[in-house]
Structure 1
Amino acid sequence: MKLVVLGATGMAGSRVVTEALARGHEVVAVSRSGASDTSGVTSVQGDVTDVDRMKSLFAGSDAVVSATRPRRGEEHTVPATTTALLDAAAAARTRVVVVGGAGPLRSPGRPGLLVLDDPRYVEDAWRDAAVASVEQFRVCQAHSADCVYLSPAAVLEPGVRTGRYRRGGTTLVADPDGTSRISAEDMAVAVLDEVEKPGGQPHVAVGY
């Protein structure tokens, strides 16, 4: 498959690129700098808000994976950025997997509470990012593009690739004690599994 990965040099995006290459896919890696130290990819500089540019890059691809993250203090830009991304994908008739946040998921054991509003998972320092993930999810819900929103566990950080994870729906994937985590490497496994074999759900949660 030919895949376009946005945010390809970030923590999540770089792992998606590595996993895609390991599976034999052709990868176009898009980032603000256009630089990538990963061999075997086509590195491209691009701004997600440039709809015409993105439409051109998406044309002929089998899927797009968006793993972009706003800089701290720029979380308010997420809705407009996501809308531009989906506009381009819809115009190019390309499916998109958006690697988002845990904020819009239901809190385990508390179905009436979003993760966004559960202090067990969202500290004050990360609330702006969590709010942005909820807004991003709502943009995806409302858009006509072929899109799936993938919410990782509450703690997403570099680690090891085990190839194992649990897949859920609209509730945060967590252990019985409430622990919710996944490595960026296994999150990438989940992303590529969704790309290769779509599960048919518009919102997917993954974690250990």
Structure 2
Amino acid sequence: MKLIVFGASGDVGSRVVTEALARGHNVAAAVRNDAGLGKLPKGVTPVVADIADPAAVAAAMAGQDLAISAVRSPTGREGEIVTLTRSILDAASLTNLRVIIVGGAARLRLPDGSPHTVLSDPNFLPESIVPTARASMAQWELCASEESVNWTYASPSALLQPGQRRGVFRTDTDKLLVDDAGNSEISMEDFAVALVDEAQSAKFPRAAFTVGY
């Protein structure tokens, strides 16, 4: 499969690139500027594209079978992720390309019959994370309203951090996954595994899924 990863030098994007390369896929790795090129591994086709420019993104998508957007916005500018996602979706529409959007956990319903989501529960998130969660929810609402693109929205567990590639995890659609101790987590490595799995299987067309231990 020929696929392009946007945000390829980031925490999740770099792991998606590594996982896709290990499976023998032809990977184009897109970064925002030349400074990111030095962070890319051997074996990829390097691409510089301004994510805010749908025409530039569409040009980068040309000839690919699939796009994965692992783009994030910096602290203090969390809301920019919505604009960047809009650009990715517009480019996917122009090229008729399937796209997987890496999102957040804000939309996920809490377990055990709670009426709340990760974002709406007043006691779940630290205050410092709330701006990111609000932006994540807006990003999800944007994708959910999109009718012209074959998108998939991928939510990690509540805790996403570097770790081991176990290759064993669970998936769901809109429920926060927790383990027997009540923890909700997934390593970035296994989240990348799930993203490449979805790239290959297309189990969630125009739908969302989440991953957790």
TM-score bracket relative to the smaller structure = over 0.9
Partner of 1:155 in structure 2?
159
Contact 2:102 2:153 in 1 (8 A): yes
User: 1:94: which partner in 2?
Assistant: 97
The AA in structure 1 aligned to 2:67 is V
**How has the CA–CA distance of structure 1 residues 78 and 91 changed in structure 2, closer, same or farther, with 3 Å as cutoff?**
same
Q: What is the alpha-carbon distance in structure 1 between the residues aligned to residue 123 and residue 178 of structure 2?
A: 12
Correspondence list, 1:59-208, <5 A: 59-118=62-121, 121-143=124-146, 144-200=148-204, 202-208=207-213
Moved over 4 A (4+): none
Query: 2:158 touches 2:185 (CA, 8 Å); kept in 1?
Result: yes
Q: Cα distance, 1:162 vs. partner?
A: 0.9
Secondary structure class of the residue paired with 2:87: helix
Q: 1:183/1:119 Cα in 2 relative to 1: closer, same or farther (>3 Å)? A: farther
Task: Using the aligned pairs only, state the percent identity.
Answer: 42
Task: For 2:93 and 2:66, locate their aligned partners in 1 and report how far apart those are by CA, in whole Å.
Answer: 12
- The CA RMSD measured in Å over matched residues stands at 1.3
**SS across alignment from 1:75:** coil
Local SS of the residue matching 1:177: coil
Deviation at 1:153? 0.5
Please give the secondary structure, in 2, of the residue aligned with 1:70. Answer: coil
How many angstroms apart in 2 are the aligned matches of 1:119 and 1:156? Answer: 20
Q: Once the 2 structures are TM-superposed, how far is the Cα of residue 119 of structure 1 from its aligned partner?
A: 5.1
Which ranges of structure 2 fall in alignment gaps of 5 or more residues?
Answer: none
Show CA shifts across 1:7-30 (max 9, x none).
Answer: 000100000000000000011111
TM-score between both structures, scaled by the size of structure 2:
0.93
Assess if the C-alpha contact under 8 Å between 1:8 and 1:31 holds in 2: yes
Question: How many angstroms does 1:118 deviate by?
Answer: 2.9
- C-alpha separation between the residues in 2 aligned to 1:153 and 1:71? 20
Aligned equivalents of 2:122, 2:4: Cα separation in 1: 35
Q: What amino acid is the match of 2:200?
A: E
Q: Secondary structure at the match of 1:4?
A: strand
State how 1:17-36 maps to structure 2 within 5 Å.
17-33=17-33, 34-35=36-37, 36=39
Give the counterpart letter for 2:54 in structure 1.
V
Q: Measure the CA separation in 2 of the matches of 1:41 and 1:101.
A: 26
Paired residue type of 1:141: A
Distance in 2 of aligned mates of 1:82 and 1:148: 12
Output one character per residue of 1:123-144: Cα deviation in whole Å (capped at 9) or x when no partner. Answer: 1111100111100000001112
